[in-house]
Amino acid sequence: MSKMRVYEYAKKQNVQSKDIIDKLKNMNVDVSNHMSMIDEEAIRKLNDAYQPKNSKTEEKHKIEHKKNPSNVNKVENRNESKKENTMKIKKDEAPKKNNGSSNNTKPAQKSNQQNAKPAQKSNSGQQQNAKPGQKGGNRPQGNRNNSNFNNKNRNNKNNNNNNRGKAAPAPQPKPTPVTPDKITFSESLTVSELAKKLAKEPSEIIKKLMALGVMATINQELDKETIELIASDYNVEVEEEIIIDVTEFENYENNDKEEDLSVRPPVVTIMGHVDHGKTTLLDSIRNTKVTASEAGGITQHIGAYQIEDKGKKITFLDTPGHAAFTTMRARGAQVTDITILVVAADDGVMPQTVEAINHAKAAEVPIIVAVNKMDKEAANPDRVMQELTEHALIPEDWGGDTIFVNVSAIKGEGIDDLIEMIQLVAEVEELKANPNRSAQGTVIEAQLDKGRGSVATLLVQNGTLNIGDPIVVGNTFGRVRAMVNDLGRRVKVAGPSTPVEITGLNDVPQAGDQFMVFTDEKKARQIGEARSKKQMEAQRKESSKLNLEDLFNQIKEGDIKEINVIIKADVQGSAEALAGSLQKIDVEGVKVKILHTGVGAITESDIILASASNAIIIGFNVRPDNNAKRTADAEKVDVRLHRIIYNVIEEIESAMKGMLDPEFEEKVIGQVEIRTTFKVSKVGTIAGCYVTDGKVTRDSTVRLIRDGVVIYEGKIDALKRFKDDAKEVSAGYECGITLEKFNDIKEGDVIEAYVMEEIKRA
């Protein structure tokens, strides 16, 4: 073809006809409109003009994409596909260039080398060919930049199009995929993913796995060991990429330098046996030190408080008891720096004293012993010391290193000494933090407040917390809206070891949850949501795991049914009380299993957990949010809302009774004596009877007893009174009875009639 019309050429170059007309006019080629014919010479000139410009246009596109931020995603995707495309082109181009300049990855290089031979052949074949245009299709694609080639082929429109348009499929045999030298993975790979990475067919991998004794399907996840095993079979190195989980607080580096650190107040927990005076001691310390200095301050119970003595602060956790201490530790929170072990001087070491010692020791927290109730006549501090030595708490006076302070919490005696000792231990411990960084710490308490929403007491352990800080607390997030200290005063900042009550979170976190401040709210939200999702998944996994284990237990224990319950309450205390009461319900054969307890409204995640584990949700003084309601309807989850614990217990108890398979009991309804028998052909033996006790009914089950031995048990075939069928015959009457498929009836036998009755559980 020697000539073509303007619009044809425009179409070929993917430009407007007008552009072609303009260009031609600039070249002094006379054209009038898009239908005008252009000759070979003009086409050549146009080709020259368009070839370089095309690549420029591409460049321009790229730049434009980068400039336009709204296109970010698109650009990334395009770049992705471009990358892929580039890889493909490179592989095919490689034989020609074969310098690996644009692709440095090993596998690609290998592929280059391997492909080198056939491609060279194809190239040389082309060189031998006098008319390259005729064999144009055989050339590896990517020729569009070769203007020479294009020019020489200008009379072959199809060829030209192939070369100019998308990469033409190379007719040369598809190069066999090359096994890479090294593959990378993170966490795990499925069989098909591994096959792809190794450039093998999945079936081949499955066969290899079979040979190793692993029966795997194509979508099965393989662990590191198996991946390594398979890869080593192909001499491929495996590298595991560790993906840093941004949702884990531990993954955030704590790069405080020594010079950034300054002394922080100690955080003290008081533990001891019941009634040994923990609460009185806490109050006593607070009263002597707080109210005195902060006259007029209305003390607030926010779960922790601070006192100041000689310019030095001490933070006390206001939640005495081992439960709080251990719950926090169980959640990975180490908040206590010093433990005060209260032992009543008149009572000595008791079981919970020992428990407290063990908790403190396990947490490696130094112990100060406060020997309390010294005002009592029966006080015997020496005995306390003596008993504690058995638990490796040896007083300094006796050559040990445990500080003992004698106090009377009720009289406020010895409190100053105790505080002095706390300061001393704190000094030895060199407790430090960096106040000039974003805050992190632990939740001491959290609850849902009717007016204020989620309220959490946070203990700042490092950094300084400010009003307005974007924060992630456990699996919740938000912005610190307001901060109130232990005196009920609004504060704007809270430094290390300070307890503050904050509002502004989207949900209620749990005691012991960690918190962390982030630079912006978006990030906080992202991380908070991701953490919540992660926790939900973990919970779901946990529940299915538990169910499996329970299944096993059920088999062992003999068909025990259980009722799965999720409790959401307005305060942690109610949730725990309810959980405790429900677990105490005693219905034989059924157990209550508390899957989850939490504080706050019933959320969608609760419903999903319930749905996944077939649980009932109990809302105590809380209600489901709208999302939760919708999901509950969709998932058909039973949500019960209550305000009185007793009602909940009653409801669950009856549910538990209803759940049981009905239990039947045999109830004897009558006795019948056989006085004579008749043999009737086709009917069998008819017993002529007399009902001696109760009655016999047509549908009762009967036992034929001879000399005290049951010789038949079954149904009545016919019950007759004289010649008529009877429904029932009562004591004192005669009747005729035939038994189902049983004729060996003898005079003197006794028929016992009974029914099975369902027993109502008490």
Ligand X SMILES: Nc1nc2c(ncn2[C@@H]2O[C@H](COP(=O)(O)OP(=O)(O)OP(=O)(O)O)[C@@H](O)[C@H]2O)c(=O)[nH]1
Annotated binding-site ranges: 272-279, 318-322, 372-375
Q: State in angstroms the smallest separation of the CB of 287 from ligand X.
A: 13
Q: State in angstroms the smallest separation of the CB of 342 from ligand X.
A: 6
Q: State in angstroms the smallest separation of the CB of 415 from ligand X.
A: 10
Question: Residue 472: helix, strand or coil by DSSP?
Answer: strand
Which residue is closest to ligand X by CB?
A: 277
Q: Which is nearer to ligand X, 264 or 289 (CB)?
A: 289
Q: Which is nearer to ligand X, 521 or 576 (CB)?
A: 576
Q: Which is nearer to ligand X, 208 or 276 (CB)?
A: 276
458 DSSP assignment: E
Q: Which residues contact 404 (CB under 8 A, 6 or more apart)?
A: 368, 369, 371, 381, 384, 385, 395, 396, 397
Q: Which is nearer to ligand X, 327 or 685 (CB)?
A: 327
Q: State in angstroms the smallest separation of the CB of 505 from ligand X.
A: 29
Long-range contacts of 414-419 (CB under 8 A, 24+ apart): 414/370, 414/374, 415/284, 415/285, 415/288, 416/288, 416/309, 418/285, 418/340, 418/368, 418/370, 419/285, 419/289, 419/307, 419/309, 419/314
Q: State in angstroms the smallest separation of the CB of 275 from ligand X.
A: 4
End-to-end CA distance of the chain: 101
**Positions in the binding site for ligand X (CB under 6 A):** 272, 274-280, 320, 372-373, 375-376, 408-410
Nearest-angstrom CA–CA distance, 139 and 93: 10
Q: Which residues contact 382 (CB under 8 A, 6 or more apart)?
A: none
Q: State in angstroms the smallest separation of the CB of 265 from ligand X.
A: 23
Q: Which is nearer to ligand X, 325 or 754 (CB)?
A: 325
Q: State in angstroms the smallest separation of the CB of 376 from ligand X.
A: 5
β strands within 291-366, DSSP E: 304-309, 312-317, 338-344
Long-range contacts of 221-228 (CB under 8 A, 24+ apart): 221/188, 221/189, 221/190, 222/188, 222/189, 222/190, 222/191, 222/194, 223/188, 224/185, 224/188, 227/185, 227/188, 227/189, 227/194
Pair 298, 487: CB distance under 8 Å: yes
Q: Which is nearer to ligand X, 328 or 594 (CB)?
A: 328
Q: Which is nearer to ligand X, 409 or 575 (CB)?
A: 409
Q: Which is nearer to ligand X, 15 or 410 (CB)?
A: 410
Q: State in angstroms the smallest separation of the CB of 288 from ligand X.
A: 13
CA 353 to chain centre: 37
Question: Residue 305: helix, strand or coil by DSSP?
Answer: strand
Q: State in angstroms the smallest separation of the CB of 377 from ligand X.
A: 10
Question: Residue 299: helix, strand or coil by DSSP?
Answer: coil
Long-range contacts of 643-651 (CB under 8 A, 24+ apart): 645/574, 645/577, 645/578, 645/581, 645/620, 648/578, 648/581, 648/582, 648/618, 648/620, 649/581, 649/582, 649/585
Q: Which of 460, 443, 454, 249 is nearest to 328 (CA)?
A: 443
Q: State in angstroms the smallest separation of the CB of 387 from ligand X.
A: 17
Q: Which is nearer to ligand X, 413 or 673 (CB)?
A: 413
Cα separations in angstroms, 40 against 2, 54, 156? 6, 20, 12
Q: Which is nearer to ligand X, 75 or 409 (CB)?
A: 409
DSSP per residue, 489-535: -B-SEE-TT-EEEEEEESS---TT-EEEE-SSHHHHHHHHHHHHHHH
Nearest-angstrom CA–CA distance, 493 and 490: 9
The pairing of beta strand 37-38 with beta strand 237-240: unpaired
Nearest-angstrom CA–CA distance, 49 and 426: 82
Q: Which is nearer to ligand X, 445 or 469 (CB)?
A: 445
Q: State in angstroms the smallest separation of the CB of 374 from ligand X.
A: 7
Nearest-angstrom CA–CA distance, 752 and 141: 98
667 DSSP assignment: E
- Helix and strand numbers, DSSP H then E, in the chain: 21, 34
Burial of 65 (0-12, 13-18, 19+ CB in 10 A): middle
Q: State in angstroms the smallest separation of the CB of 417 from ligand X.
A: 14
Q: Which is nearer to ligand X, 280 or 440 (CB)?
A: 280
Cα separations in angstroms, 443 against 338, 498, 508, 515? 18, 12, 10, 7
Element (H, E) at 568: strand 561-569
Q: State in angstroms the smallest separation of the CB of 456 from ligand X.
A: 24
Query: Could you tell me which residues are annotated as the binding site for GTP?
Result: 272-279, 318-322, 372-375
Q: Which is nearer to ligand X, 197 or 276 (CB)?
A: 276
